[in-house]
Amino acid sequence: MFIFADVKKYKKHIRFTLALSLICIILIGLTTCDKGQAPGIADGAPSVYYWRTTLRLDSTERAFLAQHHIEKVYLHLFDVVVADGKCQPAATLAFNDTLPADIRIVPTVFLTEECLHADTTDLASHIVARVAKMCQAKRLRHAHELQIDCDWTPTSREAYFGLLARIRTQLAALSDSEAPEGWRLSTTIRLHQLSQPAPPVAYGVLMLYNTDSPYKRDSRNPIFAPEDIQPYLRSLQHYSLPLVAAYPNFRWQRLFHGDEFKALLYSENLSDSTVYEPVEGDSLYRVVQGRTLHVELQGSHDVRLLPGDEVVVTRPNAGELISTARLLHKARPSLHNQVIFYHLDHASINQLNQKDYETMYHLQ
């Protein structure tokens, strides 16, 4: 212990202590810098996904792009699914409109995990050729990157990484004056994939949504729950691939009978008071008249609404989004070199207010 009354006597000790403290501070700083140096991307910009099957923007959507200075749109071009035992494109985007000319477009393709268990021999060339043809046919300027979205698992990892490597090779051949070295390849990364080796791509988009199952009624917010993200902080700090963040702004209308999940009601109008009665503001409705929602409305199967069924409306909580984003920022600042919202859609845009978007797009 030092006796401060006799400073001179212990001057040497004090110097030593200060030096030691400085070294500690530097070391701590280095450790922090190590986190801070987790790779990011150089060309980050406010971005958004466009995931509908028809490209048509209304005034609200155009205003959103302008107001938030959106520079990049990750444009979903098609899915790849297994049909008749073969990988085939599906849900191809119909172009009924154009995006503002100054926006960079990143063509995005969703691949079902099932495809990775099918024959993928020619899949890379099929995907790249079709994307290139679509970009050329629809004059998608500034498109020099392809993003693949796939919920791969450890069992399909090898097939997926192999496919990505082949796609990357194919993309290298797509060089032009704007991209002399060919196109870049990126991919989505789900939270559970952070514990796996990184895929062979330029960077990943960390999907910070769909954090829990929508089928459980009493679970945390299944779209975005901080508790479901926190366990991945450590993996995030050490993940070797450059990452950027994608946050949700969409809502789900989940139909339950008691606690039993029945369906997601995609396009159902809950303000139709002849069918739905609001129970808790805009977050819970009860069905008051039975009816069948045909497959055309529901996507995969007919859904029977029964009196007493309830529709739980779930949306991300802005406060939780911002506080969790700040936590993630501390763990890996480069994550927010670019923030992407999923997705550009009139109804989704209104789930958060302008100030929240501003905060999220400019996280420091």
Partner 1 sequence: MRPCTICSKVLALLLLLSGVSLNAWSCTYYDSNNYYLFYVFEGSRTNRDYIQSELAQWWSSYVGTTVSVDDLEALSHESKADFAQSTNPIVRAAYQKKDKSMQAYLDLLCQYLSLAPQSDNDPWYYPDDEEVETTRRNLIKLESQAAKIKSTKYAPQLALLRLRALFQAKEWARLVQLYESTVAPMPKSIFRDMSSGFYAGALRALGKDEDAAEIYAELGDLHSATWCVHDGRNIGTLRRLYQTNPNSQVVRLLLQDFVNNTQETTDELFHTDYTLGHDGYLSKVTMGEVNEFIALAEQAAANPQVQDTKMWLTAAAWTAFLYKQTANAQALIQRALTARGEEISQRTARTINIAMRIETERDTKTLEAFLLPELKWLTSQAAQAGQDYSPAYYATQRILIRHLSERMTKENRPLDAALYLSLASRIRENNYEAEEVSPRYVDYSSDYVDELIQLDADALKEVYAQLFEQPHTNLRSYLIEQLAPELKKKDFYNDLIGTALMREARFEEALPYLERVSLDFLSQQLLSYYMARRDYSLERWMGPRQTLPEVKDGYGGEVPTKLTSNQRANFCRHIIELKGALKDAATTEQAADVHYMLATLLYQATQLGDCWYLTAYGRSTYVEEVDTLYKLVNTHLAEGLKLAQKAKYDELTDEFLFAKAYCEAQGQAFYTYEYDIDSERYTLEFDMDKISLYGKDFTALTDHVWQMPVEKRPDYVTNCDVVTTFIARFGGNK
> Which 3-state string (H, E, C) describes the chain?
CCCHHHCHHHHHHHHHHHHHHHHHHHHHHHHHHHHHCCCCCCCCCCEEEECCCEECCCHHHHHHHHHCCCCEEEEEEEEEEEECCEEEEECCCEECCCCCCCCEEEEEEEECHHHHHCCCCCHHHHHHHHHHHHHHHCCCCCCCEEEEEECCCCCCHHHHHHHHHHHHHHHHCCCCCCCCCCCEEEEEEEHHHHHCCCCCCCEEEEECCCCCCCCCCCCCCCCCCHHHHHHHHHHHHHCCCCEEEEEECCCEEEEEECCEEEEECCCCCCCCCCCEEEEECCCEEEECCCEEECHHHHCCCCEEECCCCEEEEECCCHHHHHHHHHHHHHHCHHHHHCEEEECCCHHHHCCCCHHHHHHHHCCC
Q: Interacting stretch for partner 1, rule CB under 8 A, among 4-12, 149-157, 225-233, 268-276?
A: 268-276
Among positions 137, 177, 281, 300, the unique one binding partner 1 when judged by CB under 8 A: 137
Q: Is 347 in the site for partner 1 (CB under 8 A)?
A: no
Nearer to partner 1, 119 or 227 (CB): 119
Among positions 216, 291, 330, 362, the unique one binding partner 1 when judged by CB under 8 A: 291
Q: Is 133 in the site for partner 1 (CB under 8 A)?
A: yes
**Interface residues for partner 1 in 218-257 (CB under 8 A)?**
257
Nearer to partner 1, 205 or 275 (CB): 275
Q: Is 54 in the site for partner 1 (CB under 8 A)?
A: no
Q: Is 273 in the site for partner 1 (CB under 8 A)?
A: yes
Q: Is 299 in the site for partner 1 (CB under 8 A)?
A: no
Among positions 37, 289, 350, 353, the unique one binding partner 1 when judged by CB under 8 A: 289
Q: Is 56 in the site for partner 1 (CB under 8 A)?
A: no
Nearer to partner 1, 234 or 294 (CB): 294
Number of residues that bind partner 1 (CB under 8 A): 35
In the complex, which residues of this chain contact partner 1 (CB under 8 A)? 83, 88-89, 92, 126, 129-130, 133-134, 136-138, 257, 267, 269, 272-275, 277, 286, 288-292, 294-297, 304, 306-309
